[in-house]
């Protein structure tokens, strides 16, 4: 059992999380001028808030809500981040980095939306007041301006046209607004990579989670390295969580040596952009399928490469000094997916891959406890 810190003593920080835990302690002592910041990238398990909700709720209850980064517009069906109502209308084009032949600029959100007409509109309503908006875009010699409306104020004009193609980041303060509207100004195409809604809680935590359904870690090789580096450097995360591996584990032909090199390269990219961050690698949750693999029950079997993927991630973490958390073990080991799907009420959907809300809540609590063990945090949410 992992030792827990009492109010009067502190156990050593968990290996691989030292920087994150130092940031947590500083936040608890009132020594930080900016929010705690967590970046979580991965596959379908974090594409919606079913799993990440538990982490976000626990952290915000402790430190306060400093906002979150969002994908651009409504990049896929059912995208509905907690706390916000989003709508996108008009002639927007949506581009995903998931296809192997995906091209054009992509950042850590994995999607890009483009439009030229002022009839293309994104609206956002926040359940709680905002104190700022960040917009990430890709500009160039031919791109146009963005019109940004904050509440009832007159629109701001944000110019993305620049001599050389590249990443642009705008940060706009807001006077406690709840409604945001964004559209092209009609002066050229606008390419949006993502945006963030900022709040005033101190110390506060900003937890940005971006997931793509069916993604493997290979999706990150289709992202623009310069954009990713600039985005992560600007975000200054205290903790980066990489949650890929499920889809790799279902691939019987996965080249493990190539996969290891891919994971190491991605980790290097993150650490180079955010040298002060802790890095956590998540071993994939248990899963099952009808067909080849180690038998569970009634024709359901565990894909053999799920454990092989966990082994690669565990070994890379141990060798590089990263934190590793085994999602399969947290569920109860091999065939847990089948048991969770058969539970009453079920914790997993019948596909034995995707978590129901109750299962996501249990695993989020487990991961939160593992990430915070030894952090010696001693603060409650403001107010």
Task: Say if residue 382's pLDDT is above 50.
Answer: no
Coil vs helix vs strand at 64: coil
In-domain check, residue 312? yes
What are 80-92's pLDDT values in tens digits? 999 999 999 999 9
Q: Which of these ranges, 7-11, 227-231, 303-307, 333-337, has the smallest mean pLDDT? A: 7-11
341-380: b (≥16 Cβ within 10 Å) or e: beeeeebbeeebbbbbeebbbbbbebbbebbbbbbbbeee
- The structure tokens 């590249």 sit at 166
In-domain check, residue 71? no
Q: Does 195 share its domain with 139?
A: yes
Q: Does 23 share its domain with 93?
A: no
Predicted pLDDT of residue 7: 37
| Percent of the chain that is helix, strand, coil (3-state, to 5) | 30, 30, 40
Predicted pLDDT of residue 160: 98
How confident is residue 42, by pLDDT bands cut at 50, 70 and 90? very high
CATH number, domain with residue 190: 2.60.120.260
Please give the Cα distance from 153 to 77 (Å, whole number).
Answer: 30
Predicted pLDDT of residue 199: 96
Residues 6+ apart with CB under 8 A from 206: 35, 36, 37, 38, 66, 67, 68, 69, 196, 198
Q: Does 193 share its domain with 242?
A: no
Instruction: Let me know how long the chain is.
Output: 383
Q: Does 374 share its domain with 225?
A: yes
- Among 200, 222, 255, the domain-final residue is 200
Predicted pLDDT of residue 1: 32
What are 197-211's pLDDT values in tens digits? 999 888 899 999 999
Report residue 282 as tokens. 């998540």
Task: Say if residue 2's pLDDT is above 80.
Answer: no
User: CA distances (Å), 25 to each of 3, 21, 203, 371, in order?
Assistant: 17, 6, 11, 13
Q: Does 256 share its domain with 299?
A: yes
Instruction: Characterize the bridge pairing of strands 36-42 and 205-211.
Output: parallel
Coil vs helix vs strand at 364: helix
Q: Does 182 share its domain with 207?
A: no
CATH number, domain with residue 229: 3.40.50.1110
Number of domains in the chain: 2
Q: Does 288 share its domain with 330?
A: yes
Predicted pLDDT of residue 15: 85
With CA atoms as reference, report the closest residue to 145 among 94, 90, 183, 197. Answer: 183
Predicted pLDDT of residue 12: 54
Per the CB < 8 A criterion, the answer to whether 11 and 3 are in contact is yes
What are 220-239's pLDDT values in tens digits? 999 999 999 999 999 999 99
Task: Say if residue 4's pLDDT is above 80.
Answer: no
- Beta bridge partners, 324, equal 281
Task: Say if residue 13's pLDDT is above 70.
Answer: no
Predicted pLDDT of residue 202: 87
Predicted pLDDT of residue 87: 98
Coil vs helix vs strand at 344: coil
pTM here is 0.95
Report the share of the chain in percent with pLDDT over 90.
92
Helices assigned H by DSSP within 45-177: 49-63
In-domain check, residue 303? yes
What are 281-310's pLDDT values in tens digits? 999 999 999 988 999 999 999 999 999 999
Q: Does 228 share its domain with 316?
A: yes
In-domain check, residue 127? yes
- Among 166, 200, 234, the domain-final residue is 200
In-domain check, residue 77? no
Q: Does 346 share its domain with 231?
A: yes
Domain that holds residue 364: 13-66+202-383
Q: Does 168 share its domain with 289?
A: no
Task: Say if residue 8's pLDDT is above 60.
Answer: no
Give the Cβ contact number of residue 82 at 10 Å.
12
In-domain check, residue 356? yes
Task: Say if residue 242's pLDDT is above 90.
Answer: yes
What are 258-269's pLDDT values in tens digits? 999 999 999 999
Please give the Cα distance from 148 to 181 (Å, whole number).
Answer: 6
How confident is residue 377, by pLDDT bands cut at 50, 70 and 90? low
Query: What mean pLDDT, rounded, does the chain reach?
Result: 94
Predicted pLDDT of residue 10: 55
Q: Does 51 share its domain with 101?
A: no
In-domain check, residue 98? yes
Please give the Cα distance from 108 to 228 (Å, whole number).
Answer: 6
Residues 6+ apart with CB under 8 A from 292: 252, 301, 303
Question: Is the peptide bond prior to 322 cis by the omega test (within 30 degrees of 0)?
Answer: no
With CA atoms as reference, report the closest residue to 377 among 66, 67, 35, 13. Answer: 13
Q: Does 240 share its domain with 116?
A: no
Task: Say if residue 3's pLDDT is above 80.
Answer: no
- Among 180, 200, 220, the domain-final residue is 200
In-domain check, residue 72? no
């Amino acid at each position: 059992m992992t030792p827990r810190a009492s109010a009067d003593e502190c156990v050593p920080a968990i290996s691989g999380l030292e920087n994150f835990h130092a940031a947590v302690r500083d936040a608890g002592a009132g020594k930080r001028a900016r929010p705690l910041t967590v970046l979580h990238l991965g596959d379908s398990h974090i594409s919606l808030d079913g799993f990440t909700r538990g982490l976000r709720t626990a952290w915000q209850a402790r430190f306060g809500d400093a906002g979150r980064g969002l994908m651009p517009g409504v990049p896929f069906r059912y995208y509905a981040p907690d706390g916000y109502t989003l709508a996108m209308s008009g002639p927007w084009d949506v581009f995903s980095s998931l296809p192997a032949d995906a091209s054009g600029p992509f950042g850590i959100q994995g999607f890009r939306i483009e439009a030229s007409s002022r009839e293309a509109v994104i609206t956002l309503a926040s359940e709680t007041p905002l104190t700022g908006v960040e917009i990430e875009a890709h500009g160039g010699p031919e791109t146009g301006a963005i019109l940004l409306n904050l509440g009832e104020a007159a629109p701001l004009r944000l110019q993305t046209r620049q001599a050389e193609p590249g990443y642009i980041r705008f940060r706009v303060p807001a006077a406690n607004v709840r409604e945001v509207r964004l559209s092209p100004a009609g002066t050229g195409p606008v390419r949006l990579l993502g945006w963030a809604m900022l709040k005033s809680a101190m110390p506060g935590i900003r937890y940005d989670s971006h997931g793509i359904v069916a993604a493997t870690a290979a999706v990150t090789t289709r992202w623009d390295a310069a954009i990713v580096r600039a985005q992560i450097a600007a975000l200054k995360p205290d903790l980066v969580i990489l949650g890929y591996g499920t889809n790799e584990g279902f691939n019987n032909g996965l080249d493990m040596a190539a996969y290891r090199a891919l994971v190491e390269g991605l980790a290097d990219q993150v650490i180079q952009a955010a040298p002060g961050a802790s890095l956590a690698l998540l071993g994939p949750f248990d899963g099952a399928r009808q067909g080849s693999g180690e038998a569970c029950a009634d024709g359901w079997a565990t894909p053999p490469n799920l454990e092989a993927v966990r082994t690669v991630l565990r070994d890379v973490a141990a060798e590089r000094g990263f934190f590793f958390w085994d999602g399969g073990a947290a569920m109860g080991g091999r065939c847990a997916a089948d048991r969770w799907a058969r539970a009453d009420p079920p914790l997993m959907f019948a596909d034995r891959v995707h978590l129901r809300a109750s299962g996501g809540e249990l695993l989020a609590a487990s991961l939160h406890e593992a990430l915070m063990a030894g952090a010696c945090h001693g603060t409650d949410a403001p107010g």
